[in-house]
């Protein structure tokens, strides 16, 4: 796996590339992609960074694992490529968006349009073996994505971090809340949403209200 990444992120994270854990991670991922079907495609592993340069990040959504079904994962958390049916969590995200801002549920589940407006759609683990959820966890990705979040927390100001569900909340523990807005809720998965922990969080209107207060361009959802 060659680490080719958007230049500003490459500069911010270059210290990580020489650390032993990352070298071990590269070896692991190379082996997995050679021996098994893995997602996302190799060129899409760092898509979240490629779509949203470091200094253009406005919002960070922290996911956990890439989708592990064929054709679903393309490097952006919760997102699926054009023409791929929307998974349940994404449908609930769109339903809350509709409830919050009256925006009709989109036909496409491709969130590149969000990423290109400054929303970093970052999974904690960037790869997965086909049909085996969590199969690439605890191999080093979490350390790498923790480093990315730490850089944003320390080097930027006025960002909005969305922590949806217990995993994201734990991963966002060290975000500097004196410099950034942190919005938390239950996860959009049906298990959480159907227990009343997701719907009604109004995160999408809160994001745009915060951006408006800062004089920043609001997100076109």
For residue 36, pLDDT over 70 is answered with yes
For residue 138, pLDDT over 60 is answered with yes
List the structure tokens of 60. Answer: 């960070």
User: Integer distance in angstroms from the first to the last C-alpha of the chain?
Assistant: 33
CA distances from residue 137 to 92, 100, 143, 175 in whole angstroms, order as listed: 25, 33, 11, 22
DSSP 3-state helix, strand, coil percentages of the chain (rounded to 5)? Answer: 40, 10, 45
DSSP string, 141-199: HHHHHHHHHHHHHHH--S-EEEEESHHHHHHTTTS-TTTSEEEEE--SSHHHHTTTSST
pLDDT-derived band at 13, boundaries 50, 70, 90: very high
pLDDT-derived band at 2, boundaries 50, 70, 90: low
Residues annotated as catalytic (active site), given as ranges = 65
**CA count, 13 A, side-chain hemisphere, 53:** 6
Q: In terms of DSSP bridges, do strands 128-129 and 38-39 run parallel, antiparallel, or are they unpaired?
A: antiparallel
Vertex 110 angle, CA 126 and 54, to 5° = 55
DSSP string, 46-74: THHHHHS-GGG--EEEEE-S---STTT-S
pLDDT tens per residue across span 48-80: 999 999 999 999 999 999 999 999 999 999 999
Strand partners of residue 162 = 61, 183
pLDDT-derived band at 1, boundaries 50, 70, 90: low
CA distances from residue 49 to 31, 105, 174, 178, 189 in whole angstroms, order as listed: 23, 26, 20, 25, 24
pLDDT tens per residue across span 74-112: 999 999 999 999 999 999 999 999 999 999 999 999 999
């Amino acid at each position: 796996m060659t680490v080719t990444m958007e230049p500003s992120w490459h500069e911010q994270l270059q210290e990580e590339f020489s650390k032993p854990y990352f070298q071990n991670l590269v070896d692991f991922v190379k082996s997995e992609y050679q021996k098994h079907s893995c997602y996302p495609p190799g060129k899409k592993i760092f898509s979240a960074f490629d779509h949203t340069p470091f200094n253009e990040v406005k919002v960070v959504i922290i996911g956990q694992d890439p989708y592990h079904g064929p054709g679903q994962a393309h490097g952006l958390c919760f997102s699926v490529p054009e023409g791929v049916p929307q998974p349940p969590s994404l449908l609930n995200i769109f339903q809350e968006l509709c409830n919050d801002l009256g925006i009709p549920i989109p036909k496409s589940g491709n969130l590149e349009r969000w990423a290109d407006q400054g929303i970093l759609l970052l999974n904690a683990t960037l790869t997965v073996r086909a049909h085996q959820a969590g199969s690439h966890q605890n191999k080093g990705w979490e350390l790498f994505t923790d480093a990315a979040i730490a850089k944003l927390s320390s080097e930027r100001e006025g960002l909005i971090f969305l922590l949806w569900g217990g995993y994201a909340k734990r991963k966002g523990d060290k975000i500097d809340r004196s410099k950034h807005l942190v919005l938390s809720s239950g996860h959009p998965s049906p298990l959480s949403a159907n227990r009343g922990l997701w719907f009604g969080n109004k995160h999408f209107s809160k994001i745009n209200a915060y951006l408006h207060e800062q004089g920043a361009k609001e997100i076109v959802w």
